[in-house]
Amino acid sequence: MRPLTEEETRVMFEKIAKYIGENLQLLVDRPDGTYCFRLHNDRVYYVSEKILKLAANISGDKLVSLGTCFGKFTKTHKFRLHITALDFLAPYAKYKVWIKPGAEQSFLYGNHVLKSGLGRITENTSQYQGVVVYSMADVPLGFGVAAKSTQDCRKVDPMAIVVFHQADIGEYVRHEETLT
C-alpha cells in the first residue's frame, strides 16, 4: 500500500474529473474526515486516514483490500473506474442521464443506452462527456460516456446509441469473483 505518484494521480484525477468536474475536491476534504487514495496491487483505494493508520500494522502481502476500490491501472498505465466508485461519483455528477424502466435491464446486462430508452438528459451535455446513468426513480445504475450531445439526442433515430456503457451495478453479479 503506497501513495500514488504524481503521474498516477494526474491520470486518475483526469478520469474522475470527466464525471464530477471540479467537485473532485469534495471527495478528499469531506466533513466526516480526510480521505485519500492509495495504490495496492494496481488498484486504487479510497480510504479514510483513520483507517489507513490502523492498516499500517498489517503487512502488504497479507492485506487484501482497504477502503473502497475506485478503479485500477491497466498494464498500459491507463486508469479504469470500477463500479464500486459509483456511490461516491453519483452525488457529485455534473452530467446525468435517466433511462426508462424498460431500458434498465438492458443497461444492467452491459448494453449501451439507445435513444428509445432515454428518459432525460442533463442540458448542455457534450459528446464524449462522462455521465452517470440513473433510473427514472433517481437510483444510480452505472456510468458511461455520452455518444451524442444533448442537442443531437433530440434528432437521432430511436435505435441510435446515446450513451456508451462503461460500468453498471449488474457487474456485482456478472463479475463477482474478480471484484475486490
- Other CB atoms within a 10 A radius of the CB of residue 117 amount to 22
CATH architecture of 2-88: Roll (3.10)
* C-alpha angle 8-76-71 in degrees, rounded to nearest 5: 55
Residues of the chain with pLDDT under 50: none
Identify the pLDDT of residue 179. Answer: 61
Residues of the chain with CATH 3.10.450.220: 2-88
Residue 8 in 3-state DSSP? helix
Identify the pLDDT of residue 9. Answer: 93
Q: What percent of the chain has pLDDT over 90?
A: 62
Identify the pLDDT of residue 54. Answer: 85
Residue 167 in 3-state DSSP? strand
What's the gap between Cα 74 and its chain centre? 16
Q: What are the distances in angstroms from CA 84 to CA 9, 31, 69, 141, 145?
A: 19, 21, 6, 11, 17
Q: What are the distances in angstroms from CA 104 to CA 9, 71, 84, 88, 135?
A: 33, 24, 19, 21, 7
**CA neighbor of 142 nearest in space, from 131, 129, 126:** 131
CATH superfamily of 95-175: PUA domain (2.30.130.10)
Identify the pLDDT of residue 55. Answer: 82
Residues of the chain with CATH 2.30.130.10: 95-175
